[in-house]
Each structure stands twice: as C-alpha cells, then as structure tokens.
Amino acid sequence: MKEITRLNNHGFVLAETLIVSVFLVAIFTMIYVNFYPIIGEYEKRENYDDIDGEYAAYWIKKLIEDPNFNISQQEKESLNGEKQYFRFKCSDFLENSPQESLCINLVKSLEIDCDDNDDNGSNCQIYVTNYRIGSGDGTVPNSFKKTVSNAPKSEFSNDFKEYINYLPDYKNTSIDGAKYRVIIVTHHTKGYNDYVTYSNIEVKREW
C-alpha cells in the first residue's frame, strides 16, 4: 500500500498566534518581575557593612570595651530580658571624663545617626545586643531579631529592620569569646551626601 502524506500548509491561524504570544508575554513578565527585585536588593546591600561602617563600629566597640564604660541596672535588664538590647550612651562614661569627651567627639566625627538636638551622644542609633541576635530554630525565646521585627516603625525604620533580617543569627559562639555585638547606623552628610549605612561588630566585654 502506498503512503499518502498530506501536509497542512495553511500555517498558523490568528488565534493560535495570539495564544502563543500571550503565553510568551506572561512568561517573560513573570521572569522580569522576579528578577528585578534582586537588583534592588543588591543596591541595598551596598550600604551594609561597608569599610567606613566597619571602622566606625570598631571604634565604638573600643569605647564599649573600655572598663570605664559601665551600664546601668536598667540597661542590663533590657539586654538580658525581652528586648535583648540597650542603646549606647556617652553618658555611661563618668561625667566630664576624657572618655566621655572622646566619645562625644567620636560619635560626631563618625556621623552616627543621632537625634537632631543631641549634642552629647546620648540618643544615637548605637545598639548593644547579645552576640547571638536570632532565635534560629526557635530554641531561644527572645532575640533582637524578634524585637526589631515586632517593633513599630516609630522605633525602628523599615531599612533597619531589613538590615537586621539580612544578618545571620550568629548561632555559633565567637572564636574570640565575644558575648555581645554592637550595631550602628551611620548617616553620611559630609560633601552634600545624604545616605544611611548599617554595620555591626562583635564586642568582647564582661558585665
């Protein structure tokens, strides 16, 4: 028996072309929508733990490690309690001591983000937390990450929340035996700039 092949040479009809086009557009839109936020995320991370922020955090860490820096009972309870942090203040040094004066100048020179009317480094965005900041698998009841995530916008900005969420939990203990961590927010205004960076460093101190 001889085979008879009949080819359909009519091509696609308009409906077929339209359906395929719509399908392709939907796929490309989905790819673009998912890909674009990755670029934004990368741009945000340019402001995380940059070299200036790390050196700024280093000098704040040196101040915290100074034996003359002593925290109040209330700050201790805040650090070990539900909040898991306290805010660093230059007034935690002895009043009119060289350390207090250095602290005030350093906070100003490092452009740490402070309240507008704060001239003595007492209301700045310098957070002292425990070394481990996340609860990980839920084995730790309180964590700084949890505090920040549940806090209202008035307490922590969305950008700060995103930075804290980006950081690891630091579940493993420090090889240097550090028990605490300092997290700083720097507001760069020199040279007509206006941008904020975030950094952190571990602190070796006993309280």
Partner 1 sequence: MVKNKLNNKGVTTIEVLISFVLIAIIANSLYSTISAYNDRRIIENYKSEVLTYKNTITKTIQDDFIKIGLSSVNYNKTYEDYSTIYQVDCSLKDGTARRLIITQKYTKSDTHPNGDPHNDDYFMIEYGQPDLTKTNADDQNAKLIEYPIPDIGSYAAKFENEKTGKNAMDLVISNVLIDLGNNSSTKNNNVLSIYIGFYHPELSTRYSINIVSPINYIQSSTRG
Q: Name the site residues for partner 1 (rule: CB under 8 A).
A: 2-7, 9, 51-52, 55-56, 58-59, 62, 65-68, 70, 93-94, 97-99, 101-102, 104-106, 108-110, 119-120, 190-193, 195
CB of 150 to partner 1, least distance (A): 33
Rounded least distance, CB 87 to partner 1, Å = 20
**Which amino acid type is present at position 36?**
Y
Q: Which is nearer to partner 1, 152 or 191 (CB)?
A: 191
Q: Of 24 and 151, which has the nearer Cβ to partner 1?
A: 24
Beta-carbon count within 10 A of 169 CB: 15
Nearest distance in Å: CB 7, partner 1:
6
Q: How many CA atoms lie within 13 A of 45 on its CB side?
A: 9
**Comparison of 58 and 166: residue with beta carbon closer to partner 1:** 58
For partner 1, the closer CB: 55 or 166: 55
Name which of 65 and 169 has its Cβ closer to partner 1.
65
Minimum distance from residue 92 beta carbon to partner 1 (Å):
11
Q: How far is the CB of 11 from partner 1 (least distance, A)?
A: 9
Residue 80's closest CA among 125, 137, 130, 132? 130
